Chain A
Amino acid sequence: MPIEILMPALSPTMEEGNLSKWLKNEGDKVVAGDVIAEIETDKATMEVEAVDEGTLAKIVVPAGTEGVKVNAVIAVLAVEGEDTDKAGEGIGEEPAKADAAAPAPVAAKSEAAAPVAAAPKTEIAADPDIPAGTEMVSTTVREALRDAMAEEMRRDGDVFVMGEEVAEYQGAYKITQGLLQEFGPRRVVDTPITEHGFAGVGVGAAMAGLKPIVEFMTFNFAMQAIDQIINSAAKTLYMSGGQMGAPIVFRGPNGAAARVAAQHSQCYAAWYSHIPGLKVVMPYTAADAKGLLKAAIRDPNPIIFLENEILYGQSFDVPKLDDFVLPIGKARIHKQGKDVTIVSFGIGMTYAVKAEAELRGLGIDAEIIDLRTIRPLDLDTIIASVKKTNRLVVVEEGFPQSSVGDHIANQVSQRAFDFLDAPVITIAGKDVPMPYAANLEKLALPNVGEVIEAVKAVTYR
């Protein structure tokens, strides 16, 4: 039996990749350990090694193919004694491209690994902060974040970035790609693995007047540093009677990625939103990521900037403006509607957006509000919407107790009780540590069905 060589998954969130180069030709002998191809993932260019010995009978996916699904057959290996010409027969007619139907096992895998990865279909409502007629450029969240940092570093020599693997490695998630080349090692600083220490060094530098961007490889690791973030960064302005503060941005991926289990899958939006002295930003779209990160770098306060690994590779329209800065503390109406208000933020928006599309089919016109900033919270925009729709569902991935949704429900019940036609429903992650098994992980996260059921409940359908 010839051996099928499959497109490998080379990162927790990878669903597809580009086959950049073949290092072996058809007819070449290979032994286990030989590098046969190079694959570009969402994070890096990786070498693919052969695991079996034989002759490369057929290259199914040619070099330069983009969007090759994980587990698609990319080549066929004839083992000893097999006819290399026959080994490849019948294989390769099977589509391997991303836009074609993928084989069943692939679909099952990607669904489990990244339950919300598909791009949203909803037309995004115009943002009043973007001038009408502005040219839009499709940009990934990853590129938008990088562009924001680069633009601000060009603008202000006091801005620098520090963190683990931000410089020579080009960023563990490629967010700082190219910054070392442009700005040099003085301003793009690789740190040891020492979160508590470098968070404190960053805050100290900020107290001395510099404007650090501290990247945490993920916010899970920032728990090592949380004393410096809260006790030093957030409180100094108050404790000094306004004399001295910390203009600093703490940024990095937050929340569940895919299949990385309990210690690496946690949303900190509610945690940091508890703290006076901090601002907490959590964008969903690439435009918001760019405009808000630029605003965060300019802001004289300590900012928690929560990103999401699954969103990094998603593309959105970003306005082509020389200096695109958005206001921190202002929610964005993602889609206008009249029957129910769905409030969400960050990756929670992916559930809201998908649910909204299905609800339209049921004749329910939902308004979606993307908070963008968790603290200060734009309650006015929420209340105005609730006064119009009289119904509210809040969606987030974090744990349910003392969640962002709980706070919103409380505030709405105090400020707009008479406008509510149904109790506020909050949808959150389940009250369990994140499990590893694909099916359990899926159960632990919110899902589109829950959002739809909640909307049906508050609209009495």
Chain B
Amino acid sequence: MATAARKAPAKSKSDGKSGLSAPKPAEFTKDEELAAYRHMLLIRRFEEKAGQLYGMGFIGGFCHLYIGQEAVVTGMKMALIDGDQMITAYRDHGHMLAMELSPRGVMAELTGRRGGLSRGKGGSMHMFSKEKHFYGGHGIVGAQVSLGTGLAFANRYRDNNNVSLTYFGDGAANQGQVYESFNMASLWKLPVIYIIENNRYAMGTSVSRSSAETDFSHRGASFKIPGIQVDGMDVRAVKAAGDLATEWCRAGNGPLILEMQTYRYRGHSMSDPAKYRSKEEVQKMRSEHDPIEQVKARLIEKKWATEDELKTVDKEVRDIVADAAEFAQNDAEPDPSELWTDIVL
């Protein structure tokens, strides 16, 4: 299994009450493997470009890159139906691309231009799309957990069969309102999947230094919310967990926790030198568990794609990103009158 090098490797785990355990990784078809490859690569290349534009001064403020964690949003998106919502914190570019928000719109928001998704007024951490059911993009650690629970409340109120995917990190998992939300979600049987992206570090503090219970799949135990640990570096494992979780919620069973064991290759934000971990640790993850390389290896091995065909995909993805970057650098800044719009309706 891909997580063999970890201290606490993902394994089949049951909470003992729900009978739920981590499902086997999904069997992907050729088309699914290729789609997963393309989607993850788009996020990877997009984030690399964002890092580059940050270095050139086109992007300001905070910029949190998703590189390394691509399998989590990509696999979960494959389990959704139309109308399912997604909400996350500030490491959000990958989530937006997974929800099919326009790369141009996201990149132009990063550069603070009028063609950005929030017309240049939100920035990296604050983007939304009602049309695509993406509810942000939130800058306060943990706040999105209560908000995502509210999205699920609305689904329940409307009895519409949709599920709220509420993402947060191992750091946010120690915020009080997370547990207030767990309680209400379980009490009212709300259709919400709490996806804890455990990338092992809350900014510079490792899970073991910040958390009394480091198995985040158990964090719902006091609220009777079952949880499972998932290999978040394997998009097939994520997809299988996503199928299980969405089915669980749609059946009216209430919330579920998925602990995605993942890893971010870059620092917490662009200004983080990441001295709290060794280069070897990062290198080991990159070389042994990279989510994109795993898919690529399977595609080649099964002869579902040649190196050349994959290079064509790479080229197409690079073109999309280059186009987005070009647009984001050349689009005009917001009109000064925008300062005073969208404050109240």
Contacts and interface: CB of A to CB of B under 8 A. Distances in A.
Interface string B329-345: 00000000000011111
Interface string A200-220: 111111111110000000000
Given A228-B143, A232-B138, A277-B344, A243 B151 contact: no
B111 to A, nearest CB: 14
Contacts of A208: 85, 135, 150-151, 154-155
Contact of B343 (A186, A227, A232, A238): A238
Given A194-B180, A228-B143, A205 B135 contact: no
Contact of B177 (A196, A240, A241): A196
A160 B154 contact: no
Interface stretch (B22-30, B47-55, B112-120): B112-120
Given A228-B143, A239-B118, A276 B135 contact: no
Contact of B154 (A186, A209, A227, A228): A209
Contact of B140 (A191, A231, A237, A240): A231
A244 B184 contact: no
A245 B345 contact: yes
A301 interface: yes
Contacts of A279: 344
A207 B343 contact: no
B291 to A, nearest CB: 29
Interface string B156-176: 010000000000000000001
B183 interface: yes
A208 B187 CA distance: 20
Nearest to B164: A204
Q: Name which of A191, A207, A237 has the most chain B CB atoms within 10 A of its CB.
A: A207
A81 interface: no
Given A204-B154, A207-B135, A236-B128, A241 B183 contact: no
A191 B117 CA distance: 35
Contact-size category for B:
35 or more
Given A197-B180, A204-B153, A238 B342 contact: yes
A300 interface: yes
B121 interface: yes
A386 to B, nearest CB: 26
Given A200-B181, A201-B146, A205-B151, A241 B138 contact: no
Contacts of B118: 239-241, 243
A240 B123 CA distance: 9
Contacts of A199: 146
A361 interface: no
A43 to B, nearest CB: 26
A244 B126 CA distance: 11
Contacts of A231: 138-140, 143
Given A208-B154, A227-B140, A277-B344, A243 B180 contact: no
A204 B136 CA distance: 11
A192 interface: yes
A242 interface: yes
Interface string A417-437: 000000000000000000000
B128 to A, nearest CB: 4
A204 B85 CA distance: 11
Nearest to B339: A238
A345 interface: no
A281 to B, nearest CB: 13
A78 to B, nearest CB: 52
A200 B146 contact: yes
B154 A237 contact: no
Interface string B129-152: 110000111111001011111111
Interface string A273-289: 00011010000000000
B293 to A, nearest CB: 36
Contacts of A197: 146, 149, 177, 180-181, 183-184
B10 interface: no
Contacts of A186: 157
B127 interface: yes
Interface string A107-125: 0000000000000000000
B150 A207 contact: yes
B60 interface: no
B122 interface: yes
Nearest to A206: B150
A301 B148 contact: no
B336 to A, nearest CB: 15
Nearest to A200: B146
B184 to A, nearest CB: 6
A204 B127 contact: no
B122 A240 contact: yes
A276 B135 CA distance: 21
A239 B121 contact: yes
B147 A204 contact: yes
A198 interface: yes
Contacts of B157: 160, 186, 205, 210
A300 B345 contact: yes
Contact of A207 (B147, B181, B345): B147
Contact of B121 (A227, A241, A276, A300): A241
Interface in B68-115: 85, 87
A301 B345 contact: yes
A301 B345 CA distance: 6
A205 B153 contact: yes
B121 A238 contact: yes
A158 to B, nearest CB: 8
A242 B344 contact: no
Interface in B251-285: none
B117 A204 contact: no
Q: Name which of B120, B146, B183 has the most chain A CB atoms within 10 A of its CB.
A: B146
Contacts of B145: 200
Nearest to B182: A197
B128 A200 contact: no
B218 to A, nearest CB: 20
A204 B343 contact: no
Interface of B: 85, 87, 116-122, 126-130, 135-140, 143, 145-155, 157, 176-177, 180-181, 183-184, 187, 341-345
Given A194-B184, A241-B122, 7 more contacts: A196-B177, A197-B184, A198-B146, A201-B147, A204-B149, A208-B154, A244-B135
14 contacts: A197-B146, A197-B181, A199-B146, A204-B135, A204-B147, A204-B149, A205-B154, A210-B154, A210-B157, A227-B143, A232-B138, A237-B344, A240-B136, A241-B120
Interface of A: 160, 186, 191-192, 194, 196-210, 227-228, 231-232, 236-245, 276-277, 279, 300-301
List 7 A-B pairs, minimum CB-CB distance, nearest first: A204-B150, A200-B146, A197-B180, A241-B119, A208-B154, A204-B147, A239-B126
